Structure 1
């Protein structure tokens, strides 16, 4: 078998074959996220055919989303690696590249929503699912576009692992029963994992992870209940599918324009803030939704929610890379999308239970809205505290010693000048002691 050519580069190329990676990721998001979000069009069909309530029917969509984010099964084998590959090929244009890549979800919804409704009418829900399954086979083509790349910072890790394995084998052959050998083997086996997932101990990443849980809880139910809610307020089936199309096409605009805007020099340093802004506004849209009970009012809602949904989805990999760095981006994104799994699993059934219990969508939408707002506020509060601590450390350093040069790394602060002064003092004392003894 022919060996796969591995591209080598000292830094992300920001172009070239990277645009083919973007195209592949674009098609992956169409075949995965767009298809799963169009399941809401099947919601009423499933509910009618199986004679189940909202909570029971919602498990269908929940399990699909959960397995995608939780396991190495199905869509998960395509979605997370494709997104991570884009981060490997782009640095300066990362937000734009992610914007184009993630816009596949919006384009897919825009195209598939009316098509799926037409397929259901023509071939029933079973035939429509069969046709969608054939369409999803295009993921095999997307995988063929993913060419590995080795960056400068990635080259040391394989060499270190190789040396570790070699030394481990030698020690095993020399003294297989030695306690010292066993400790060395344990160190070598755990070293690579500790290095790869060291970001799990970062306080910034822990806060991001908690925030993602609340954000994922809030964003999922809308794509399950928008069509049923529209039907409940008197909107026709075709118009409800049209709402999903609007949501999809505006999602595209949010992906691309927000990615392009946040790559500009004026906003480059505020991508974190832009992410918080987008998540918070989607939460506010949720709070207004129960008051919108006609098609002319639901269309502006779909436009607003769709735009900022595309905006923050684009910035998730960018914000993650800002916190953990590019070398750990693939592993960190895997953890971030893994954290989506549990909220995706439980939020639609919980929302369905609230609808069944209260006879209204109000409680379900309000809970989702407050969840997304809390996600945004939590990250903003954490960033504010971090800046206050840095400012306080600098102020205390200047007040205590004018010669003090403060170096900061998170919450750690130390003075090179003070250490050098102490070493100089020790050297002088030793010299004087030596001369006295002489």
Structure 2
């Protein structure tokens, strides 16, 4: 009955309850991405307590990120076929349970399961549906709305990094994880804010009546499915996978995901290795987080301006490239005073491109497919997120320093930017010759809407 009474909007309202959706998504990113980043603060504690090397300890952070991204399509499925509210509330319960159980860990393998898999699955059910909901409510101010919503990752890191360090000092890492579990349970409150909305574009992609035989057991979004074959609407949901633009974007995400993870995992251990104190190392994460917020909001606002709106793609690849360039300089920064500028620059460009990921994805696939597309996008992050920290840890164990790990991370992000740039150039070259041929032609063609040439007249 609730779904039948739901009002149909021709276009996203760009305000109203949409701002409550932004606030809800903001706190979802605080409780998911910011908490995931702060797990790196536990790195040294886990390594010392369980007496393990860098590579084995790094698997904890990798599994959290991998589970979050690998299970993102599950979050999209629950959101599409049940509701965003159900997905986020369920995810909040699972993530909170995982953190609480992690406080009783007796081995790294135990943490792989509770902190890695269970908490990561909970985050997956929350993250992509919350982000997709923002795209449902905004169009004209979409980049700004996403900038504010995604800034939760930065402001959460800024606040939580020193708080988590203080909790570890006061209550040990077990007590800190227990308190974080209670904090993450607030995801259930965020889920309650996610009021569903129906857009005209949704009704065009998922018509309520398409075939005479309808099964009442199908979900409201999928009224045109038949259980005798694969669900028709599932095919419609993922038809964007064949778009060349999306394929190129998807490949670029593999390199981006590999490059962006190690700096967050190893910034604190690297800082400690060059003589920075524990409090200063945690403060570097706070600086990175607060500047991340500035990057989210300012870059989102700027790219919403009319003169830059059509150049969002270029702004995105520039931000990714500059973030990779920052990583290349990290190995030569050997004191707190030099690491502060790194945190500022890396944090700003990280916030800049993160705010544009859902915007760029939405521009490619459309608003109605955004939830499913984000599920695929975050799914593609899974394997690089899983492998990059342990590979970086193996390089640290093998070489004895962090240089190779950070250089590989930086070059991976730069390659992502170059790939997107080349795709843009090739696409433009393909279009220009066609335009040139038409302009320089000595033949005047009158073409009807069906594409047939009606007549040919020589130009005198």
TM-score (norm: length of structure 2): 0.83
CA spacing shift, 1:2–1:98, aligned 2, 3 Å: closer
Residue matched to 1:383 = 424
Task: Quote the Cα distance in structure 2 between the aligned partners of 1:315 and 1:2.
Answer: 33
Unmatched 5+ stretches in structure 1: 170-183, 407-414, 424-438
CA spacing shift, 1:417–1:336, aligned 2, 3 Å: closer
Shift of 1:233: 0.2
Task: Quote the Cα distance in structure 2 between the aligned partners of 1:309 and 1:418.
Answer: 46
Task: Quote the Cα distance in structure 2 between the aligned partners of 1:229 and 1:205.
Answer: 36
Residue matched to 1:66 = 66
- Alignment counterpart, residue 241 of structure 1, candidates 259, 272, 282: 282
1:272-301 deviation line (CA, Å, top 9, x unaligned): 111011000000000000000000000000
1:218-253 deviation line (CA, Å, top 9, x unaligned): 001111100000000000000000000000000000
Shift of 1:322: 1.3
Task: Quote the Cα distance in structure 2 between the aligned partners of 1:201 and 1:303.
Answer: 38
1:251 aligns with 2:292: yes
1:338 aligns with 2:384: no
- Alignment counterpart, residue 135 of structure 2, candidates 87, 97, 117: 87
1:419 aligns with 2:452: yes
CA spacing shift, 1:151–1:361, aligned 2, 3 Å: same
Q: How does 1:194-233 map to 2 (within 5 A)?
A: 194-233=235-274
Residue matched to 1:17 = 17
CA spacing shift, 1:336–1:2, aligned 2, 3 Å: closer
- Alignment counterpart, residue 167 of structure 1, candidates 213, 225, 228: 213
Tell me if structure 2 keeps the 8 A contact 1:212–1:339. Answer: yes
- Alignment counterpart, residue 305 of structure 2, candidates 237, 261, 264: 264
Shift of 1:416: 4.6
Shift of 1:404: 3.7
Q: Name the SS for the 1:167 alignment partner.
A: coil
Root mean square deviation, CA, Å: 2.2
Q: Name the SS for the 1:349 alignment partner.
A: helix
Q: Name the SS for the 2:337 alignment partner.
A: helix
Residue matched to 1:106 = 154
1:144 aligns with 2:192: yes
Residue matched to 1:279 = 320
Tell me if structure 2 keeps the 8 A contact 1:38–1:109. Answer: yes
Q: How does 1:51-62 map to 2 (within 5 A)?
A: 51-62=51-62
CA spacing shift, 1:3–1:94, aligned 2, 3 Å: closer
Residue matched to 1:320 = 361
TM-score (norm: length of structure 1): 0.87
CA spacing shift, 1:5–1:26, aligned 2, 3 Å: farther
